[in-house]
Structure 1
Amino acid sequence: MKKSLAGLAALLMMGSMALAQEYTVRLPNVDPPLSKVGELTYPNHTYAMMRTFKDALESLSGGRIAVELYPSGTLGDLRENLEAVQAGVLEAATPNEATVSGFFPKIQLTTIPYVFPNAVVAWDVLDGEWGDALFDEMAATTGLRAVSIGENAGFRIWANNVRPVVEPADMEGLKIRTMEITAHQEMVSSLGALPTAIPWLEVYGALQTGVVDGAELPIIGTLQQNLQEVLKYATIDQHVYSLVFIVVNEQWFQGLPPELREAVVLAGRQAAVAGRGLSQTLVSDVIEEFRKRGVEITSSSPEQVAAFRAAAQPRVLDWMVGQFGQDQVDGFLGAVEAAQAELSAE
């Protein structure tokens, strides 16, 4: 009898939730839900954001908003997803900064090489006044509102099959895969290498066949795609802090009642914390797994990072000023400097 009553209660609760539901958010991504690192299996860092967003938003909205998750590229690639959100065909998407740059070029300010000394400074800038103003502008000009600013496996790495990269001169002449983002290509060129934009799912074959000597890569994604099988050397130098977003259609967002807009914003912030935390947890395990699988790892010292910064930043800064103006570049650099000062223990 107790079981019957419990089952009836559950059915009634499901029915009331269904009656309360007023909105549906479809949220896709290209990666699988799980990441395999050695003998351990983790939720993928982007999927962790998605799942947290779903659970938080459905709870905060009292069941009025339902969130459907579509991982593993079931609704297309990142660009197709973002185009669909902009057109109002989808409610939400999970692009990285490279995808966003095709719709909102100014996001490239965050990719100035070696600008963030650590992830905490990046969080402070992106979650603070500077980040708020940037993402408000993005919503106003593109119809795409970033409600969650997560971490796309944190700092990106250099990897290649020719030689260890210890100093800027070691990059000279290497043909390096990049994402389709001009700022990354300018950075590669400034180090004397040859940038080649190659889609993510084609990187394995390009490395295996020697189309490129190496690649500029995300740490976790490199292992997910088994790129360690076709790479000999990797350098961890914190050159670009990579982002992943939950972006919603601005018209859809503004059409929500105020209390549901607040729920979306709060769920997005909760999702960012979850994604960042899991990303930070995964990175160290992934690097250790690289070593176990025969990839030679170089971790740059502060002095070596300073040498890379001196070689890479000036050309990229000149390009940024040409694209967005001196005031915009100075405003971003000022925000980074202020965050460093605020977080300093001195």
Structure 2
Amino acid sequence: MTKILAGFAALLMMGSAALAQEYKIRLPNVDPPLSKVGEMAYPNHTYAMMRTFKDALESLSGGRMAVELYPSGTLGDLRENLEAVQAGVLEAATPNEATISGFFPKIQLTTIPYVFPNAVVAWDVLDGEWGDALFDEMAATTGLRAVAIGENAGFRIWGNNVRPITGPADMKDLKIRTMEITAHQEMVSSLGALPTAIPWLEVYGALQTGVVDGAELPVIGTLQQNLQEVLKYATIDQHVYSLVFIVVNEQWFQGLPPELRQAVVLAGRQAAVAGRGVSQTLVGDVVEEFRRRGVEVTSASPEQIAAFRDTAQPKVVEWMVGQFGQDQVDGFKAAVAAAESDLKVD
């Protein structure tokens, strides 16, 4: 961490000579700017969010703020970036919910399995009063303010090399890779499988050598890492809606003039919409590419999803209650129910 902070400090000193703008934001991510799907190349969903944030903020601030983009891991991994933001050495970062959970565990409430019936309900909850309260608490307790809540390729999927997964019984005794997030591990365990936390860049080798039978995966990232080469089966069951954020240092944010704080907030909301749109566009094409490359894809029916939910959710909810309290879990589930009700067509 000391070396990382020293590196960022050097960048800060180098940038201080550029006086054309009053404020600078350095915004890194680990992914490349483009996602390749077959013969097509798309903006990566996180990069689309970053690029929109840059263009919107520079315009909204009248040129008073400049945003520098650092994709492809040029400033370190997601956790290193978030540590640097918290330390005030870097202005912004683009973590996912797993990375944030190490700093703000309550974000795991959003990972209750099968809680969101679709992406629109998730957006309504995250952009509404419940989400505002959660992210205000995160800013107050961690010094990390989420200014954009994007979509990390939407709902995650199951991939494996043993058999098609169409119900909870098919998960029994499979050794499944997860991110380093306890809620995901509890979900895998509740379905009768054996969770194994493996870093993202090691998943290909773990699947190829049989260290794990399968993995809990992001749709777009799976193709970017060529995991279709080492997977036989994939199941789309909407078990967890994955998030990606633009997070800024809270002290830095509060030190901005009011009109520039407003510009950051507006640019963040615009960026979230752009990232979600690109993510939604990419996912369908990626799934078709899986099929084209020989992966057997199963899309779970509503009845199958209900069976997964009835098996997985109780144990995870019990764990959440133990971690965060019954009122927190009930409040989140009530927000989801209210969003579902509000979005129904009469």
Band the TM-score falls in, shorter-chain normalisation? over 0.9
Cα deviation for residue 185 of structure 1 reads 0.1
* 3-state DSSP of counterpart to 1:35: strand
Q: How far apart are 1:345 and its partner, in Å? A: 1.1
Aligned residue type for 2:108: Q
One-letter identity of the residue aligned with 1:155:
F
Helix, strand or coil for the counterpart of 2:286? helix
2:176 maps to 1:176: yes
Which aligned pairs between 1:164-243 and structure 2 lie closer than 5 A?
164-243=164-243
| 1:90-146 superposed Cα distances (whole Å, 9 cap, x missing partner) | 000000000000000000000000000000000000000000000000000000000
Distance 1:215 1:306 in 2: 21
Distance between the aligned counterparts of 2:67 and 2:206, measured in 1? 37
Question: Once the two structures are superposed, what CA deviation does each residue of 1:209-232 show, in whole Å capped at 9, x if it has no partner?
Answer: 110000000000000000000000
Runs of 4+ in 1 over 4 A off after TM superposition: none
What one-letter code is carried by the residue in structure 2 that aligns with 1:333?
K
- Quick check: 1:284 aligned with 2:301? no
- Which residue does 2:322 correspond to in 1? 322
Give the Cα–Cα distance (whole angstroms) in 1 for the partners of residues 159 and 344 of structure 2. Answer: 32
Q: What one-letter code is carried by the residue in structure 2 that aligns with 1:330?
A: D
Q: Which amino acid aligns with 1:185?
A: Q
CA positional deviation for 1:198? 0.4
Distance 1:288 1:20 in 2: 46
Provide the C-alpha distance between the structure 2 equivalents of 1:319 and 1:140, rounded to a whole number of angstroms.
25
Correspondence for 1:296: 296
Query: How far apart are 1:38 and its partner, in Å?
Result: 0.8
- SS in structure 2 of the partner of residue 156 of structure 1: strand
Shift of 1:20: 5.0
Q: Does structure 1 residue 267 correspond to structure 2 residue 248?
A: no
After superposition, what is the alpha-carbon deviation per residue over 1:304-325, rounded to whole angstroms, capped at 9, x for unaligned? 0000000000000000000000
Inter-partner Cα distance in structure 1 for 2:212 and 2:125:
34
CA root-mean-square deviation: 0.7
Query: Where does structure 2 lack aligned partners over 5 or more consecutive residues?
Result: 1-17
Q: CA separation in 1, counterparts of 2:53 and 2:127?
A: 17
Match of 2:160 in 1: 160
* Secondary structure of the structure 1 residue equivalent to 2:68: strand
Normalised TM-score (structure 1): 0.95
Aligned to 1:306: 306
Q: Distance in 2 between matches of 1:55 and 1:205?
A: 38
Paired position in structure 2 for 1:8: none
SS of equivalent to 2:215: strand
* Structure 1 counterpart SS, 2:173: coil
Q: Specify the code of the residue in structure 2 equivalent to 1:150.
A: G
Q: What's 1:13 paired with?
A: none
Larger Rg: 1
**Structure 2: distance between partners of 1:103 and 1:120:** 27
Listed as ranges, the matches of 1:118-157 within 5 Å are 118-157=118-157
Aligned counterparts of 2:243 and 2:124: Cα–Cα separation in 1: 14
Residue 19 of structure 1 deviates from its aligned partner by: 5.6
CA distance in 2, matches of 1:282, 1:20: 37
The residue number in structure 1 matching 2:95 is 95
Structure 1 equivalent of residue 25 of structure 2 = 25
Q: Distance in 1 between matches of 2:106 and 2:267?
A: 25
Q: How does 1:36-115 map to 2 (within 5 A)?
A: 36-115=36-115
Query: C-alpha separation between the residues in 1 aligned to 2:345 and 2:113?
Result: 24
AA aligned to 1:266 is L
Alignment-mate amino acid for residue 215 of structure 2: A
Instruction: Mark the runs of 5 or more structure 1 residues left unpaired by the alignment.
Output: 1-17
Give the drift of 1:52: 0.2
Identity %: 89
